[in-house]
Structure 1
Amino acid sequence: MDAQPDDDAGLRTIPLFAQVAELLRRRIVAGIYTQGTRLVEGRLSAELGVSRVPVREALHALATEGLVELSPRRSASVTRVPDAIGRELVEVRATLEGLNARLAAQRRDPALGARLEAVQREGRLAAADGRTEALLRLNASFHELLASTAANSVLREMVRSLRERTFLMFAPVDAARARQNWEEHARILQAVIDGDADLAALLASRHVYSAHAAMSRGGAGAGGAAPG
């Protein structure tokens, strides 16, 4: 399968359809495939150098996650999120991200905290330099580490799913929003390190609404990276 270096790293031991699904998922999250983009089996099969079967299975897997819509008469396409549903997704995600940060502050782990600080530093540098691919990777790492600190596997999966679905609306954003995103991360992280569960929850919830507000103001533009 012909993928970018970051796309297929660490994926060689999992089924081919799962590798394809992960690559397509990353492209959707990165805003490479935007809402409504057609995902044609034959075209993807030729591009990735695989048969249609793993592509079809990957599209079905992404459909169960809400990232792809399937039609019996047409090819698959990236899910379009109606405004009303988008607002509901943001409301639920903001609530769960707040709970996630609250638990992280209550159950803080020094080792994970140090790793979060390292990712935070890298994220700020990447935002300053406008390194979009690095920002996507570091943003995912920040939230995964925060979820690990919260130590609730059910919540972790729910937040991850919601984050990916809201990225359909958010990605991409401009450089200014990318910098603001990491400034907000820094405040959340400090509250977690301080063990201030109430503040961590408040900041994490506001972080989601802030990203949504930026998108609503028309802040999306080329050269950025998905927020939140």
Structure 2
Amino acid sequence: MATDSPGKIGSQHLPLRDQVLDGLRKGIISGDYPPGERLTEDRLAEDFGVSRNPIREALRVAEAEGFVVILPRRGAVVASPSSATIDDIFAVRERLEPLAARLAAERAASGDVTTLRSVLQQARLATERQDLRRVAELNSALHLQILEMSGNPWLASIAKALYLHVQWVFQMTANARAPHSWEEHIKLVDAIESGDGDLAEVVALSHVGAASLAAHETTAGGH
């Protein structure tokens, strides 16, 4: 595993399984546990400082979520997003994000836009530092903030699980995507600030299309 350990857990007021699951997701999304890597219960128990039972339970949930594949006689292996999985993610994004952008443009307060600008500034600095893990986190944070700004609670609630996978895929493409993504996000925030719902919808759809192309090129390249 990479030098950034998920750390020992147990002090949070959550069931151990949920704490392990959260740490496991973060480790997979960030690339600490890369696609194809074998995850033994003993190793994870040591990584997280817990017994094997919550590890086993967390792995079952992670498999259901698509982050892990449990193979006969081999055990758990970190999944690799397939072309079909990426198709499914972007099929939802191309409906969800343009609608959220339109509603955000129509409903956003000035303070909301200030928050987006702050995320953009952090993303610019992270991009310049080549801190791709942080860029991936901020990419999801920006989109989730726009979903919140839409004022439609259903959009925000259904997006939370999706954006774990969006962040995972983005992390794999971040080396090539980060500068372009930042520039596209500036255009998106500008469109939202303008209050023009039609424009915001078009800009959001274009951004999703560019992200989809990059994701498919990366998986075709062996990721």
The 1:36–1:130 alpha-carbon spacing in structure 2 relative to 1, beyond 3 Å, is: same
Instruction: Give the percent of matched residue pairs that are identical in Structure 1 and Structure 2.
Output: 35
Q: CA deviation at 1:161?
A: 2.5
Q: Which residue is equivalent to 1:108?
A: 108
> Are 2:69 and 2:78, in contact at CA under 8 Å, matched by a contact in 1?
yes
SS, match of residue 77 in structure 2: strand
> Are 2:82 and 2:219, in contact at CA under 8 Å, matched by a contact in 1?
no
The 1:6–1:36 alpha-carbon spacing in structure 2 relative to 1, beyond 3 Å, is: closer
Q: Distance in 2 between matches of 1:23 and 1:146?
A: 26
- Could you tell me the TM-score, scaled by structure 2's length? 0.82
> Are 2:5 and 2:47, in contact at CA under 8 Å, matched by a contact in 1?
no
More displaced 10-residue stretch of structure 1: 69-78 or 41-50: 69-78
Q: Distance in 1 between matches of 2:49 and 2:206?
A: 43
The 1:182–1:47 alpha-carbon spacing in structure 2 relative to 1, beyond 3 Å, is: same
Q: Distance in 2 between matches of 1:132 and 1:91?
A: 25
Q: CA RMSD in A?
A: 3.0
Q: Distance in 2 between matches of 1:159 and 1:55?
A: 26
Q: Which residue is equivalent to 2:141?
A: 141
More displaced 10-residue stretch of structure 1: 116-125 or 82-91: 82-91
Provide structure 2 residue ranges, at least 5 long, that are not aligned to the other structure: none
Q: Which residue is equivalent to 2:184?
A: 184
Q: Distance in 2 between matches of 1:71 and 1:220?
A: 23
The 1:69–1:219 alpha-carbon spacing in structure 2 relative to 1, beyond 3 Å, is: closer
SS, match of residue 70 in structure 1: strand
Q: Which residue is equivalent to 1:33?
A: 33
Q: CA deviation at 1:170?
A: 4.1
Q: Which residue is equivalent to 1:124?
A: 124
Q: CA deviation at 1:73?
A: 4.4
AA matched with 1:41: E
Q: CA deviation at 1:220?
A: 9.8
Q: CA deviation at 1:80?
A: 3.6
Q: Distance in 2 between matches of 1:108 and 1:22?
A: 31
Q: Which residue is equivalent to 2:70?
A: 70
User: Per-residue CA shift, 1:156-215, capped at 9, x if unaligned?
Assistant: 233332333344544323545211111111111111111122222222222222122123
Q: Which residue is equivalent to 1:226?
A: none
The 1:5–1:196 alpha-carbon spacing in structure 2 relative to 1, beyond 3 Å, is: farther
Following superposition of structure 1 onto structure 2, how do residues 1-228 of structure 1 map, counting pairs within 5 Å?
12-71=12-71, 73-218=73-218
> Are 2:29 and 2:168, in contact at CA under 8 Å, matched by a contact in 1?
yes
> Are 1:35 and 1:80, in contact at CA under 8 Å, matched by a contact in 2?
yes
Provide structure 1 residue ranges, at least 5 long, that are not aligned to the other structure: 222-228
User: Per-residue CA shift, 1:44-95, capped at 9, x if unaligned?
Assistant: 1112211112222222232332322334644222334332342233222222
- Could you tell me the TM-score, scaled by structure 1's length? 0.80
User: Per-residue CA shift, 1:95-134, capped at 9, x if unaligned?
Assistant: 2121222222222132222111111111111111212233
